[in-house]
Amino acid sequence: MSVTDELLANNARYAETFSGPLPLPPAKHVAVVACMDARLNVYGALGLAEGDAHVIRNAGGVITEDEIRSLAISQRLLGTEEIILIHHTDCGMLTFTDDGFKQSIEDEVGIKPPWAAEAFSDVEADVRQSIARVKASPFVPKKDSVRGFVFDVATGRLTEVA
């Protein structure tokens, strides 16, 4: 049995006690942008329940064009007003460089990715970079509460980046 099949069996159990549907717009009017890291359970770490918040995730929890697209849809069409950005300690993005990663792909498949890998060497600095990218976007209208945090994978605790 593949892992996918194992997770589908888990889903059958989840559905047994599931009660829906909830409304489409997030009840808490908040959108979270977080790293895809497996140790960062966003619902658990923020005490979210189904229906509470949009959760956007990618490698690093960085802000690229696609996160601006998601945030624009979240705020303009579905009423979210606060943004929470979450990076974390021991991030994989600290372990390589854009140039090195892209060169390794080019060496293997002959094509250099046309995108930035978005590696970073300082987690807190990259949280600030993400906040700055959101604030600079003309497509995200509500910026009164755009706050950034580092999740500690040892303690489970969020620390705000000033």
Residue span 134-153 as binding mask against a copy of itself, x where in contact by CB under 8 A, dash where not: ----xx-x---x-x----xx
Residue 125's CB is within 10 A of a number of other CB atoms, namely: 12
Instruction: Verify binding: residue 129, a copy of itself, rule CB under 8 A.
Output: no
8-37: which residues touch a copy of itself (CB under 8 A)?
A: 8, 10-15, 18, 20-22, 24-31, 36-37
Residue 44's CB is within 10 A of a number of other CB atoms, namely: 9
Q: Which of 73, 62, 74 has the alpha carbon at shortest distance from 134?
A: 62
Backbone angles phi, psi at 36, to 5 degrees: -75, -5
Instruction: Verify binding: residue 133, a copy of itself, rule CB under 8 A.
Output: no
Distance from the Cα of residue 139 to its chain's centroid: 18
Contact with a copy of itself (CB under 8 A) among 97, 105, 128, 135: 105
68-87: which residues touch a copy of itself (CB under 8 A)?
A: 68-70, 72-74, 76-78, 82, 84
